[in-house]
Structure 1
């Protein structure tokens, strides 16, 4: 159970500008080195290391070592969901109400939200799957129907023997930062994102969470999910 002191501790860790910048940089689901995160936050690697220790101490990031390099990533999907929510609130506190979400058109169109698809692409997939009866979405709750599970397995997005009682929710809705409507998260959302990347439907844009939809992706998203014009 979260205590008031624990809540304050997490809030203080997120509230420092350099640490906030590093957490935002990790929202695309990849692991980055302290040097890479230092560049994002415009601080020295030594200072970044201190901030990373603080973030790890409150459970917001996790680290893994490969060879001589140490990589840092968000500790869990729940952490990513919290950061996305803070971004929504921060955007809504502007003196003059802006257009919702990021100003960058590429980010609004298609991006990663930790390990799942967001933006117009992510919302379009959620809408199409809901319209076809593959998923059911009601507020914060979402569920993959039996028909939807069979469909995802036939597409190779979910394994036929997938453990449906895992610790992570199979299907969850996530309020989209820019569209202010739900896209799909959870194990299903992550599997769709991985499938799209592995099959070349989308490619990452350097230095950003934005994704570029390829010509193959326009066909793939339309055939797999019924998204009318994912690149539009």
Structure 2
């Protein structure tokens, strides 16, 4: 990559509105331009201009269904980059939340959330550390599932089908916990299983997720996680 290309990519994130868009899209879903405009509190025309730049720069991918234009993060690598940037910029954020609602939303996001297509926050870290302690995941030489870890996914009906060049497991720096949580194919399939099986449910309009009583029992049985840690 030439220096001008790196500078161009950095410039795409160096705008508060565009930063708000990519952070919102870390929920892994496709949003319309109108939804993102309302989220960032900007005019639709302003949103359209910024989205055009993000699509042209390869940060977002778009698709059209009828009159609607949907955008999502271009790929898991972009999601990983955004979460990593958020983690590294967090120390610069100072001052208390503006409202009680913002404080509550912040606590919910820190407790558990999705990072594109995998689990993050205290929930994601707790699962990652439990898997490591049980010998299902190795972190000493980079993130990698052990043979026992691969068997564990199979035993719980969680498929690990290859997806292009995406790694089976990789670490993603968590911006609230400052530790790596499980990403890659393993992280994505585990998150999908947790949502589909009712272990977790989405709450609010952000990326926050909450572990259900069913999930507390399942995670305790599968990974020995104390339910109190997840509340």
| TM-score normalised according to structure 1 size | 0.90
Provide, for residues 81-104 of structure 1, a one-character-per-residue CA deviation record: whole Å limited to 9, x for no partner.
1111221222122468xxxxx961
Specify the alignment match of 1:12 in structure 2: 11
Structure 2: gaps of 5 or more residues: 96-101
- Structure 2 CA distance for partners of 1:107 and 1:14, relative to 1, 3 Å: same
Q: 2: distance between equivalents of 1:154 and 1:90?
A: 39
- Structure 2 CA distance for partners of 1:83 and 1:194, relative to 1, 3 Å: same
Contact 2:122 2:230 in 1 (8 A): no
Contact 2:171 2:183 in 1 (8 A): yes
Q: Residue 219 of structure 1: which of 217, 221, 224 is its match?
A: 217
- 1:93-104 to 2 correspondences below 5 Å: 93-94=92-93, 104=106
Contact 2:199 2:216 in 1 (8 A): yes
- 1:59-78 to 2 correspondences below 5 Å: 59-78=58-77
Q: How many residues align?
A: 223
Q: 2: distance between equivalents of 1:48 and 1:150?
A: 46
Q: Secondary structure at the match of 1:138?
A: coil
Structure 1: gaps of 5 or more residues: 97-101
Instruction: Tell me the C-alpha RMSD between the 2 structures.
Output: 1.9
Provide, for residues 138-184 of structure 1, a one-character-per-residue CA deviation record: whole Å limited to 9, x for no partner.
37x2001111101101101125xx34x84100001112111111210
Specify the alignment match of 1:99 in structure 2: none
Cα deviation for residue 17 of structure 1 reads 1.0
> Which region of structure 1 is more displaced relative to structure 2, 64-73 or 180-189?
64-73
Specify the alignment match of 2:150 in structure 1: 149
Q: 2: distance between equivalents of 1:66 and 1:95?
A: 41
Contact 2:111 2:122 in 1 (8 A): yes
Q: 2: distance between equivalents of 1:137 and 1:184?
A: 10
| TM-score normalised according to structure 2 size | 0.91
Q: 2: distance between equivalents of 1:91 and 1:157?
A: 33
Specify the alignment match of 1:91 in structure 2: 90
